[in-house]
Amino acid sequence: MHYAQIVQYSLSGITVGSIYAIVAIGFNIIYNTTGIINFAQGGFVVFGAMTAISLSRFVPLPVAIVLAVLLTTCLGGLVELVFIRRCRDASILRLIVITIGVSILLQEAMLHIWDEKVRSLAYFTGTAISTVTILGAHFSPQVLWVLGVSAVVVAALAVFFRFTLTGRAMRACADDRMAARLCGVSDRRMVTFSFMLSAGIGALAGCVISPVTQTQYDMGPPLAIKGFTVAVLGGLGNSTAAVVAGLLLGLLEAFTVSQFQVAYKEVVSILVLLLVLVFRPNGLFGGREIGALRAS
């Protein structure tokens, strides 16, 4: 393989991988506070992008994105209030099946609100044909936007969880719900908040990636399973490791595409999921302690 080709594939891998990482972090935020794998996570990403695409016809792009993120945040909160809060003492499996149902309803709602057409948001800077050249590889400036926004989201979340009161309260809930309640943390509110937060960052990820990969109503479930793969690869609940795992999976997929048919791309990443589930259920980096601590 040519040198410039390697750079090209790596960059496209890192771009997609950083989106997987953000979806995985969305999984982790909810998993940490509730123990649920929220299947509708992929749906939030698509919903965010779709809303922004529609709004951008009436308002400037940045405003449309902000509004879309806010709307999706509300949607996340709504999903929790309507579906999850009602069955607090239900088994985890039941809750997961409910989130599967939610993801289908969301997908079908999007099909009826919009349609089955492939859409995409306008490029943030430049157009579809403007390129940046690094190390002999050409790529769209949108790639820089994706990487930049992902980095900012990860950093902002780290700051949020470490230094703000709400963030600390959420971590307390993740660690020991009973103890957190005894300290006066409203754990219900934290659960709702975690759904809103992960819906919000999912929507943001959907908006920045939309110009590159485009958006269609049924992209949610595949994205969700990639995100889950990344979350498990890094160890469920461990967001720092999820970033590394996301980039790894993105690179793996990019180089798979270079060697095999595009149709097999997903096969490879799901095989990774199955292998990790069977051989290293605590993740590549996680010893048993990390899995047990569920540190955020």
Partner 1 sequence: MILLRRYAVVLVGAVAVVLLQVVLSAWGATYYMTQITMSAYYSLVVIGLCLLMGYAGQVSLGHAGFFAIGGYTSAVLTTFNLIAFRGVPWVDGCRSLGLLVARQDLYGANLLTVSPLLAFLAAILLTSLLAFLIGLPILRLKGHYLAMATLGFGLIVYRLALGTAVLGQADGISNVPPLRIFEGLEVTGRQPFRVQNYYIAWAAVMAAMILGINLVHSRAGRALRSIHQNEEAAHSLGVNTYRYKLSTFVLSAAFAAVGGALLTHYNGSIGPSEITVMKSVRYLAICAVGGMANLGGALLMGILLNFLSLRGVFGTYDDAVFGGILIAVMLLSPQGLLRMPDWREARSFLCRRSHG
User: In 35-60, which residue ranges form alpha helices assigned H by DSSP?
Assistant: 41-55
Nearer to partner 1, 153 or 276 (CB): 276
The C-alpha atoms of residue 99 and residue 83 are separated, in whole angstroms, by 8
Of 46-54, 136-144, 170-178, 273-281, which part binds partner 1 (CB under 8 A)?
Answer: 273-281
Of 60-68, 106-114, 163-171, 237-245, which part binds partner 1 (CB under 8 A)?
Answer: 106-114
Interhelix angle 187-213/41-55, nearest 10 degrees:
60
The C-alpha atoms of residue 95 and residue 35 are separated, in whole angstroms, by 10
User: In 85-164, which residue ranges form alpha helices assigned H by DSSP?
Assistant: 92-113, 141-163
Residue pair 187/35 in contact (Cβ under 8 Å)? The answer is no
Q: Is 287 in the site for partner 1 (CB under 8 A)?
A: no
Nearer to partner 1, 43 or 211 (CB): 43
From 7, 132, 252, 270, residue interacting with partner 1 (rule: CB under 8 A) = 270
Nearer to partner 1, 86 or 189 (CB): 86
Reported in sequence order, the residue ranges of 170-232 that DSSP labels E, i.e. its strands, are none
Q: Is 118 in the site for partner 1 (CB under 8 A)?
A: no
- State in angstroms the smallest separation of the CB of 293 from partner 1: 18
Neighbours of 209 (CB within 10 A): 27
Q: In sequence order, what are the residues at sequence separation of 6 or more whose Cβ sits closer than 8 angstroms to the Cβ of residue 117?
A: 216
Q: Is 94 in the site for partner 1 (CB under 8 A)?
A: yes
Of 120-128, 134-142, 174-182, 225-233, which part binds partner 1 (CB under 8 A)?
Answer: 225-233
- State in angstroms the smallest separation of the CB of 13 from partner 1: 19
Of 161-169, 181-189, 205-213, 276-284, which part binds partner 1 (CB under 8 A)?
Answer: 276-284
From 30, 98, 207, 248, residue interacting with partner 1 (rule: CB under 8 A) = 98
The C-alpha atoms of residue 6 and residue 175 are separated, in whole angstroms, by 42
Nearer to partner 1, 93 or 182 (CB): 93
- State in angstroms the smallest separation of the CB of 258 from partner 1: 16
- State in angstroms the smallest separation of the CB of 41 from partner 1: 12
The closest of 18, 58, 59 to 212, measured between CA atoms, is 18
Q: Is 62 in the site for partner 1 (CB under 8 A)?
A: no
The C-alpha atoms of residue 97 and residue 130 are separated, in whole angstroms, by 44
* Structure token pair of residue 253: 């997929």
From 61, 66, 70, 100, residue interacting with partner 1 (rule: CB under 8 A) = 100
Residue pair 132/144 in contact (Cβ under 8 Å)? The answer is yes
Residue pair 14/147 in contact (Cβ under 8 Å)? The answer is yes
Residue pair 250/294 in contact (Cβ under 8 Å)? The answer is no
Q: Is 97 in the site for partner 1 (CB under 8 A)?
A: yes
Q: Is 101 in the site for partner 1 (CB under 8 A)?
A: yes
Neighbours of 179 (CB within 10 A): 11
Q: Is 271 in the site for partner 1 (CB under 8 A)?
A: yes
- Binding residues for partner 1, rule: CB under 8 A, are 36-37, 83, 86-87, 90, 92-94, 96-98, 100-105, 107-109, 111-112, 221-222, 225, 228, 232, 261, 263-264, 266-267, 270-271, 273-274, 277-278, 281
